[in-house]
Chain A
Amino acid sequence: MKKHALPHLRQLLGYRAWQLGVLLVAGLVLLPAVVPTFDLYLVEEIISLGLLAVSVDLMYGYAGLPSLGQAAYFGLGGYCVALMMLKGGITAAWIVVPAGIASGALAAAAFGLVALRTRGFQFLLVTFAFGQLLAAVAIRWQVVQNFGTEGLVGVTMPNIGLGIYWWGNLSTYYGACLVLVVSYAWAKALAWSPLGHLAQGLRENEARMQAFGYNTWWCKYKIMIAAGGLAALGGELFAFTSGAILPSDMDYTYSGLAFLMVVLGGAGTIDGALLGAVVIILLQHFVSLAAPARWPLVLGVVFLGSAVAVRGGLTAGIARAVSVGGRYAQNHGRWKF
């Protein structure tokens, strides 16, 4: 992939990246002060789908496995949580949340045994098929339905048992932000770990990594399990904050959207996936209010335009813009530091 020839935002900022991170977290914390409370739901949706996008990035941007079926694990996480809380009567967060993550990880472990026999296009197609199959089962299987209609409705935030019995808009929002920060840190840690570097290496040239003696299949498998668990966490959050999980949450609709978020933002950088999620969800929301019947057309044009015009996604574009801007300023003597 050519993207490593392009300046990376983090390389530009160096160790000051963590300062930027602190600013962003502060922004998130202070957001409710400037934004009406109901719009916070948008941020929660961005976080849920953003986690799905990060899982796609781990698969594709890091390990080179193009997955068009990560939403299967997203949906599984949501269904697991919804089933436990609505039909099983279990509402304790410390049981429900890890169970959801585990459901995604286990499904990925099982499916990975089949899927990793393929690569490239074939991998894309088989992962897509898996998502479709799960959605098809969910539509018909009465066990995963309530109120006689497809999907499970009535999911609420789980009980975290610290005397907080009621989740209002604000506490739900901060809960989602906490999940985001923790997941982001975990994903970054994974990306910077030896496993993450091995994944990037085998994405570039698997034969060479094998020649060095690494077990590349095992690396891909572990990434797949990790990505499955992360996607499931996103699905849980989605179920908690939107109150329902539907069969269509498992099919190509969200898988494709997540893939688009990753590509738009820049694959191979966890930040790109989240940035892509922000852009696409906000675009979808505001365009759908302004042009209710035509917003898919606008979205399609944006995708087409970005594919043609932007190399490496938005993060690379921003990094280029910042780098060019800074060089211009220095050369023209406007700012002397």
Chain B
Amino acid sequence: MSSTIISGLDGVSFGMVLFFVAVGLSLIMGVMRILNLAHGAFYMLGGYVGWTLSVRAGAGFWMALLAAGLSVALVGVIAEKAVLRRMRGALDNQVLATLGLLYIATNIVIWLWSGEPKAPVVPSPLNRSVQISGQPYPLSRLVIISAGVLVVGGAWWLEEHTIWGSRLRAGIDDRDIAMTLGVNVDRLSAVVFAMGSFLAGIGGMLGQIFTGLTPAQGTDMLLLALIVVIIGGVGRIKATVAGALVVGIVNSFGYRLVPSLAPYLGYAVMIGVLIVRPSGIFGNVAASSK
């Protein structure tokens, strides 16, 4: 029983980090119809910037966390305004541009920080274990779960219970009609992009506590985020949460139950979802087809 709890906590904490990365990707796809393949790079940049501030500049963890999110949000805003805005509707240009950004970001990370994996930075109050059903368990993971729950709750509230949120949902469901109703979808998109990048950056600094930092993360986290979006669906907070939790829990329990098939379970679930419900568990059918 205790091992189930431990696996559950592991899966949920990993799922929370995945949520931070995938939520931006999903909302941007929904509102702007843009596939941002550089989104994983935002996670990576957030981690490295936060790490540098913490380790080299001696900043406190929470300060570094905030700075990481803000600097990645800045990068995101620049990328959106300068590059991605003019590529609405042109999937080929989006792939070309965002993959180009990914190549550039990965190589810059190698250039500035060398390719060596970095040791995680854990804030000292969190650097201890608590007893969970008789076994030590890292406190940092529990804090990540709480942070995730807070952010999910906040985002959900924003989406469902504010006027801004209803405009967001309108823009995702039907951009043209929303515009006729006076919703400034372009400005909305810019804000969503900034928020999505901010969350990815924060996710990078939180996630590095147990994923560490490597230049390959730009690609690795992108792959995971894409799986989350396929399983959960595009365009709604609850879709991303569902996808992230499914991936996290399948990861941790799958290994416990069928260790030899564990690497393929994520893909199996993904293909299963695509056969049964192609737009994802909670996917918005309108948003997911182009």
Contacts and interface: CB of A to CB of B under 8 A. Distances in A.
B234 interface: yes
Interface stretch (A12-20, A130-138, A325-333): A130-138
A260 B101 CA distance: 13
A143 interface: no
A119 interface: yes
B35 A303 contact: no
A210 interface: no
A334 interface: no
Given A136-B267, A140-B263, A297 B104 contact: yes
B116 interface: no
A291 to B, nearest CB: 10
B87 interface: yes
Interface in A82-126: 114-115, 117-122, 124-126
B107 A300 contact: yes
Interface in B58-96: 83, 86-87, 91-96
Nearest to A297: B107
Given A117-B274, A306-B96, A300 B102 contact: yes
A17 B110 CA distance: 46
A267 B91 CA distance: 11
A294 interface: yes
Main secondary structure of the interface of B (DSSP, over half): helix
Nearest to A251: B223
Q: How large is the interface on A (under 10, 10 to 19, 20 to 34, 35 or more residues)?
A: 35 or more
A12 B95 CA distance: 29
B107 A296 contact: yes
Nearest to A115: B274
B102 to A, nearest CB: 7
A304 B99 CA distance: 8
A195 B108 CA distance: 45
A162 interface: no
Contacts of A125: 226, 229-230
A136 B270 CA distance: 15
Interface in B192-242: 219, 223, 226-227, 229-230, 234
A300 B267 contact: no
B100 interface: yes
A274 B263 CA distance: 36
A260 B97 CA distance: 9
Q: How large is the interface on B (under 10, 10 to 19, 20 to 34, 35 or more residues)?
A: 35 or more
Contacts of B106: 296
A62 interface: no
B8 interface: no
B103 interface: yes
Contact of B227 (A129, A264, A303, A304): A129
Nearest to B267: A133
A303 B274 contact: no
Given A117-B274, A259-B95, A296-B103, A307 B83 contact: yes
A262 interface: yes
A263 interface: yes
B267 A129 contact: yes
A256 B289 contact: no
B140 interface: no
B93 A263 contact: yes
B289 A119 contact: yes
B230 A117 contact: no
Contact of B278 (A60, A118, A133): A118
Interface string A266-299: 0100000000000000000000000001101101
- Chain A CB within 10 Å, residue with most, of B223, B226, B227: B226
A256 B99 contact: yes
Enumerate the 6 nearest inter-chain pairs by beta-carbon distance, A residue then B residue, closest first: A303-B100, A300-B103, A120-B290, A300-B104, A307-B97, A304-B100
12 contacts: A114-B274, A115-B274, A117-B275, A118-B278, A136-B263, A256-B95, A260-B95, A263-B96, A293-B111, A296-B104, A297-B111, A307-B100
Interface of B: 29, 35, 83, 86-87, 91-97, 99-104, 106-108, 110-111, 219, 223, 226-227, 229-230, 234, 263-264, 267, 270-271, 274-275, 278-279, 288-290
